[in-house]
């Protein structure tokens, strides 16, 4: 198996490939994808072979560098047109996570700053930018963990929704980074993981990675979160997110807003862990966040040998919902523990 260096997303510069763990195969099979075409990279993002806002952004950046290095264009104008086409194509793969357009924007900035140079120099600059974003994600997530770990000092267990751990970023993850850092500091915190419909990222991915890391994990169905809180089995909720509006409204995997409302009712702190880059200052509230609608087959067919729903029954399958800022205790970022007024 290709050595991923303990990473979810990796830039194989020797062979000019975007390498990533195919998360659609977990937990039963570990498959490493080695990608070098625009179609392969787009498909990996769209089909959630790579998922989690930070991982998506880094994958797209590396993908653009790979495509630039693969380009056979000889004229600057042709190369630029190709680069911009690929950038727009990858951004269109998923609409909600702001890290995707943000990371592509960083690559576009690197291109613009070097466009007067030779093509080999531009390609080298794009490679450096992608590697820089990759390294920065590792550093950012580690710092999120360091700021978040003290908040867990009196916690025996936490609840999380979806997967915002190592598999959602390059290495540490966001929501689970405080758990990993706390463990490294000698404080073991157990985790209750919502299964997270419809793609079961909590059951398939969060439970998988926590067990592999030696952290006690209990998987529950999404509709059991109230039971867990009511019976005081958890002391805090940690979630990641895909986009934060300027006022603090937050989009995360479908079901997060319900968990936040329950936490508010039961008096349990609800923390959103995310890189500062996840804040979209171009939108004023969550009402402006586009919500991805996915194929209903994910609800009625994907996990069953035969269809579970009667033929002809309609489905509604939003991938995300928006949690109102009033339900959020604080944001844990690489800049510290913040309130929306401190953005």
Catalytic residues: 242
Q: Is 8 helix (H, G, I), strand (E, B) or coil?
A: coil
* Cβ within 8 Å of residue 86, ≥6 positions away: 38, 63, 64, 67, 68
Q: How far apart are CA 314 and CA 68, in angstroms?
A: 43
To 10 degrees, the CA torsion angle through 8, 225, 323, 327?
-120
Neighbours of 300 (CB within 10 A): 18
β-strand pairing of 17-21 with 9-12: antiparallel
Alpha carbon dihedral 288, 290, 296, 299, in 10-degree steps, equals: -80
DSSP 196: -
The HSE-up count of residue 246 (CA atoms within 13 Å, CB side) is: 5
């Amino acid at each position: 198996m290709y050595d991923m260096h303990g990473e979810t997303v990796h830039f194989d510069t020797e062979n000019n490939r975007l390498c990533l763990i195919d998360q659609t195969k977990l937990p039963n099979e570990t498959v490493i994808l080695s990608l070098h075409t625009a179609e392969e990279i787009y498909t990996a993002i769209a089909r959630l072979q790579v998922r989690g806002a930070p991982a998506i952004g880094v994958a797209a950046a590396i993908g653009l560098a790979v495509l630039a290095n693969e380009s056979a264009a000889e004229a600057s104008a042709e190369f630029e047109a190709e680069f911009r086409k690929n950038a727009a194509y990858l951004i269109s793969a998923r609409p909600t996570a702001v890290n995707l357009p943000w990371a592509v924007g960083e690559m576009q900035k690197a291109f613009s700053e070097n466009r007067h140079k030779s093509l080999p120099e531009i390609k080298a600059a794009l490679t450096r930018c992608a590697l820089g974003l990759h390294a920065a994600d590792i550093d950012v997530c580690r710092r999120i963990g360091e700021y978040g770990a003290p908040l867990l000092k009196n916690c025996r267990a936490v609840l999380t929704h979806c997967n915002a751990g190592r598999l959602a970023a390059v290495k540490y993850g966001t929501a689970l980074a405080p758990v990993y850092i706390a463990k490294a500091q000698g404080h073991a915190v157990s985790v209750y993981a919502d299964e997270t419909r419809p793609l079961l990222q909590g059951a398939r991915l969060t439970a998988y990675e926590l067990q592999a890391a030696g952290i006690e994990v209990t998987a529950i169905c999404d509709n059991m979160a109230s039971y867990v809180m009511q019976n005081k089995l958890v002391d805090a909720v940690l979630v990641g997110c895909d986009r934060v509006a300027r006022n603090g409204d937050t989009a995360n995997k479908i079901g997060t807003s319900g968990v936040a409302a329950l936490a508010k009712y039961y008096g349990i702190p609800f923390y959103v862990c995310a890189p500062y880059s996840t804040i979209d200052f171009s939108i004023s509230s969550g009402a402006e966040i586009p919500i991805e609608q996915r194929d209903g087959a994910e609800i009625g067919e994907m996990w069953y040998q035969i269809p579970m729903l009667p033929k002809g029954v309609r489905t509604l399958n939003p991938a995300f919902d928006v949690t109102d800022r009033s339900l959020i205790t604080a944001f844990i970022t690489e800049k510290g523990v913040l309130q929306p007024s401190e953005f």
